[in-house]
A and B are shown apart, each in its own frame.
Chain A
Amino acid sequence: MAHAYSPGLKVVPLMVLRKRRMLPIPGKVLYEKGKEVDALDIVAQTELPGKVFSVNIANRLGIEASEVRNFMLKKEGDPVKKGEIIAETKPFLGLSIFKSSVESPITGTLESVSEITGQVLFREPPKVLPLQAYVKGKIVEVEEKFGVVVETEGTFIQGIFGIGGETNGEIKIAVDGPDVDLKPEDIKEEYKGKIIVGGRHAGLDAIKKAIKIGVNAVVVGGIHDKDLREILGYDIGVAVTGTEKIGITLVVTEGFGHIPMAEYTFKLLKSREGEKASVSGATQIRAGVMRPEIIIPGSPDKNLKRKEESRGWIEIGDQVRIIREPHFGIIGTVTALPPELQSIATESHVRVLEVKLEKGDKIVIPRANVEIVEK
């Protein structure tokens, strides 16, 4: 076989991306087709009716339901403030100790008064539900009442696994190199609101420190599953993530354990340091896969050309990353693709390839255990 299939993650300096941004319920789209938007711009919004609260005035004042209106200080449609008296009885024989009153439970509007039940309904002000653009770019499609499609051109990096939802911030490289661990002391106060890039591994202490400082996202080579369990409070069964509310978004580029971030990914992120990025931890590993992402609009280098569609199979000369023990995380170059099955240490007979490592030694590993390092 001249080539072998291998899925790979995209790490692309410059490409065109489209993001669909839709409201859950109909509302108003705030931008027209062709307009430029920033990541934090509200592209559409909708109003959610406020919550309803009820108070039985008749019971509270000890009066007949049919008399309620006579004791009301506010009428339907009036604005009310929390704690404001909205109904009261007249003083009995001029003695105020016999006077009783009812306060509004919320700030909002008095919606209705029932003379049958003695019930008064209040409604909180409508809640605005805004929808951000998430990425800086141009509106290329508008779906009336629901949302838009934003197109952007920029750097696109996929992680292998993530948690937490969409966020934005400036890229900050927090370690000296891709094989350096991100330690708590590397995370400084000024990283609040930023996307920080670690190297090989982020431990529980470092992630907790980032959450405490208010870092928006951490991008790192590896984490421990034990720490992930600690952060989430449960074991992830099937990888469907993105809605965790842990106060930070986490993007793991390589896997679980101590695994240096691919040098190319690190260099690319470093070349964009100081620029604004959009990050999402949402991951779904199943048929119809979804990986976490880092999008940095704009070009890292004016001479860089757009990435061609990925080839998707392995050829001699390709750079590959080994993705299984005992060489997990090591990068090498494919030097041979023998077609016949070969026996490996487990005594299984599998298709293999030969990889030349950086130091020059050659190893033979199953084809299933490598992925192409995409550039």
Chain B
Amino acid sequence: MSDTSLLQVQDLSVSIDNELPILHNISLDIKPGETHVLMGPNGAGKSTLGFTLMGNPHYCVTGGKIFFDGEDITDTSADKRAKAGMFLSFQNPYEVPGITLSSFIRNAYHAQTGAPVKLLAFQKSLKAAMQILSMDESYADRDLNVGFSGGEKKKAEILQLLMLNPKLAILDETDSGLDVDAVRTVSKGIEEYQKKKDGALLVITHSTKILESLHVDYTHVLVKGGIVHTGDGALVDEINANGFERFI
């Protein structure tokens, strides 16, 4: 494998709970700071790839390997992948009663760095990140995702992205279900991560709105569990205009 790869996926095949095969022979190579877009029609297996890369135990790797930062992480648990610098923004983030958004992020930050969290500095940077996302400060003290609207949940995901500052962020349908304004706000957060922090991105989407303000290096088209085409950023516009028809 290349020394400069951040994420390298080699011939990955995946089934759910060892029964239903979903993905076949997927290969990807993402270098630090690059932005890759994964597009494809509904049911192609896009979210499955996101979950598999992050280490959801229900998704079983039946073939191939995943390397991150030069390490084979194919059998590594999700928490260790996060500590290595991976992040997944969930399409449907879970509601966890009894733990506030702010204390959740603080716990995650502590778990990843192992260092004690300096409370004042933490609160300051949380506040700044919430401002970028136009989030009301009161959300910091609300229970994680409980009673959040769809848009607020997605903003809370991007807030975690900005606070945890991973090397690679996988965004699973972060724009789905959002109105135009919310997409713009969320994009601002992603842009901040991409440009200021030089973070690598794998953006899973079947629309293109979220990509308007991002520089895209590669576009992959996933159909029926396999990558059928890879192109540059211009492919996004083509798909936007003509849909997936020619890949199916």
Pairing of A with B: no
A-contacting residues of B (Cβ < 8 Å)? none
